[in-house]
Amino acid sequence: MWIQRALRLEARPRGVHLITRDVLDAVPEVGEMRAGMLNVFIRHTSASLALNENASPDVRRDLDAWLDDAVREDAPYWTHVSEGPDDMPAHVKSIIVGPSLMIPVAGGRPALGTWQGIYLLEHRDRGGARELVLTAWGEPA
């Protein structure tokens, strides 16, 4: 069984946003898989995807603060500045974090750890809507 869908996420402010439910709602066929894989890919260069703790909102704030400190907007060496001061740092952050996730499916559920969730990391102040490509494949239950 192969499934591939596009998922459009509404614009979100800069930060780390839990999107696990959005992703799973878009591919309900995952619930029919005994074993398989789910690939989540973002079609943008100024936002990224990550797996991380989904219990404490402090984790999201701390991750966002660390990325802002590690990749500063006011760095004097940026030359790509025509799209605003947050654009080039957003590209660098998206390279650090990455554009895709590969998640195993077991018994009709993503085989995430107890506290793991799927996150959209929006690196722009106004990044706009984001599009994901979701590809699931596996053996039916």
pLDDT tens across 8-34, in order? 999 999 999 999 999 999 999 999 999
- What length is written for the chain? 141
Backbone phi, then psi, for 21, in 5-degree steps? -65, -40
Per-residue pLDDT, 114:
92
- Topology of domain 2-140 in CATH is Jelly Rolls (2.60.120)
CA–CA dist 131, 6 (Å, integer): 7
Could you tell me the residue ranges of all domains in the chain? 2-140
- The pLDDT confidence band at residue 101, using thresholds 50, 70 and 90, is very high
Per-residue pLDDT, 12:
97
Q: Under a CB-based contact definition with an 8 Å cutoff, are residues 123 and 89 in contact? A: yes
Give Rg (Cα) of the chain. 16
Per-residue pLDDT, 31:
96
Q: Under a CB-based contact definition with an 8 Å cutoff, are residues 73 and 81 in contact? A: no
Calculate the average pLDDT of the chain.
Answer: 96
- Strands across the sheet with 2-9, in order? 2-9, 130-140, 33-42, 100-106, 109-110
Of 39, 45, 60, 56, nearest to 119 by C-alpha is 60
**Cα angle value 46/51/55 (rounded, 5°):** 115
- pLDDT tens-digit readout, 34-56: 999 999 999 999 999 999 999 99
pTM of the model: 0.95
Query: What share of the chain in percent tops pLDDT 70?
Result: 100
Q: Which amino acid is at 21?
A: R
Per-residue pLDDT, 69:
96
- pLDDT tens-digit readout, 103-127: 999 999 999 999 999 999 999 999 9
